[in-house]
Structure formats: C-alpha cells, structure tokens
Amino acid sequence: MQQYFVKGNAENPVTITDKETAKHMFSVMRLAAGDEVVLVFDDGVKRLARVLSSQDQQFELVENLAENVEMPVEVTIASGFPKGDKLELISQKATELGASAIWAYPADWSVVKWDGKKLAKKEDKLAKIVLGAAEQSKRNRVPEVKLFDTKKDLLARLADFDKIFIAYEETAKAGERSALAQELAQITPGQKLLFVFGPEGGISPQEIESFEAAGGIKVGLGPRIMRTETAPLYALSAVSYALELADHD
C-alpha cells in the first residue's frame, strides 16, 4: 500500500496541500474515491486513509496503525563533504537503513567546497531524496537533513548526543575490531548516537582531537577499509543488528 508523509496534525478530513505530493497521488498514481493509502503525520503515527474526493484532494482517516519500524535509538550520520553524488547515495541508503538524521560538514580534507547558496540547493535536493526513501521503506519519520556551513557549527551540536563514534581508518588498520561491538552492547533504547565519517581523504588528526575532546570514541568498522559512502551504511547495519536482530535474552 502506498505511503505518504503529510505535514501537520491528523484531523478529519485531510486535504493535501503540498503540490508535489498531490500530483503524485492523483495524477501519477491516479487515486480515486474509495482508494486507500497510509498517511503519516508529524507525530509519526501511521494512519489508514481513504480518498473522499480526488478533485478536492481530500482523505478521511479510517484508523491508526500500530506499525512502527523506527530504530530503538536515534542514529545521526555526519559525513565530511564527499565528491560527486556520493552524499545523495548516503542519504538515500541511510534513510532506508533507519538513520534519524543525515548531516554533512566541510572536513579538513574535503575536496569539494560548497558556499551557502550551493549548500541550500544541495540540502533541498537531499531532502527530497530522503522523503522518497522514507516513503519507500515505510518509515514512521523522515530523517533530518543538515549541511553545516562550518565545522564549528557541527562541533557545537556534539553535546546533544549520548555516544559519539569516530569511524577512523587508522584504527581499523591497527586491527581494532571490538570497540564498536562493546559499546553497542551497552546502548539502551532512546539514546542518541552520532557516527562521524571523513571524506575520501579521511579524518585529519586535528579533527580527531576535536571529536575526542567532545567525548568521541575511535572505532574500526571491521578489517576492511571502506569508501566514504560505504562506511555509514555498515555502521547503521551494525546498529540494527545489535539492537533489533540479535538475541537479547
């Protein structure tokens, strides 16, 4: 069944005012009176809804659905600005894997340089990708997308997290393979986790110092060295396995 995110509170009847959403519903998918879809409002609750009028773009809410596919913890991915369209890939796949937020920052070793205007345009594009991925993967929430103008702005947000993991290539090269597993074993539902990743060139020593000063923990992501667009997906998969699939009895 199709799922759509609707901004605002759940009130009967529901009128779809977002032009792109309405176009997809009634022009692309050709929804007609009586057709049913799932609508998700700002509260993150999925609701079965039935089309009242395609002309007026109105639905009636039928019932609340108990399904909640969100992770038991909030996981934010923070990537140093990568080259090309890698951030688009990270955003889409991280959404499918359960991230609560996708952030990016101008790392010391980032090759690309984006000014404010370009950042805003990029952020808008990523937000649309994330929305589509959240609908496709039947999420209850749409992840936040945030591109920081400066690394200082990112560092100012680190106090918001219960755990900060620094995916550090040199740690993996040194053979460290247990820190992440040990830390995830101690995580409790409701905590906020941040994973920091460097761009193609990695995380600089100065950045490591800054992240560690904020309580960050250097972790290896297995024995193999991953590309900047692969590492966040590995981390999210590891969190999902540890907290959603592993036997906790």
* pLDDT at site 177: 67
CATH for 74-245?
A: 3.40.1280.10
The pair of three-digit structure tokens given for residue 111, joined into one six-digit string: 């090759």
The pair of three-digit structure tokens given for residue 234, joined into one six-digit string: 């590995």
* CATH, domain 3-65, list 2.40.240.20, 2.60.40.10, 2.60.40.420, 1.10.510.10: 2.40.240.20
* pLDDT at site 246: 73
* pLDDT at site 71: 97
* pLDDT at site 174: 58
* pLDDT at site 173: 60
Between 213 and 172, the more confident residue is: 213
Measured between alpha carbons, how far is 77 from 213 in angstroms, rounded to an integer?
19
Between 113 and 155, the more confident residue is: 155
Where do you find CATH 3.40.1280.10 in the chain?
Answer: 74-245
Task: Express the helix, strand and coil content of the chain in percent, nearest 5 each.
Answer: 35, 20, 45
pLDDT digits (tens, 9 = 90+) for 23-61: 999 999 999 999 999 999 999 999 999 999 999 999 999
DSSP H helical ranges for the chain: 19-23, 86-96, 116-136, 151-155, 169-173, 179-184, 205-213, 231-240
Where do you find CATH 2.40.240.20 in the chain?
Answer: 3-65
* pLDDT at site 247: 66
pLDDT digits (tens, 9 = 90+) for 79-128: 999 999 999 999 999 999 999 999 999 999 999 988 888 999 999 999 99
Query: For 196-203, what is the mean pLDDT?
Result: 95
Nearest Cα to Cα of residue 167 among 112, 222, 110: 222
Is residue 73 within 8 A of residue 183, CB to CB? The reply is: no
Strands of the 163-167 sheet, one edge to the other:
144-147, 101-105, 74-80, 192-197, 163-167, 217-219
For the beta carbon of residue 7, count every other beta carbon within 10 angstroms: 10
Percent of the chain residues topping a pLDDT of 90: 88
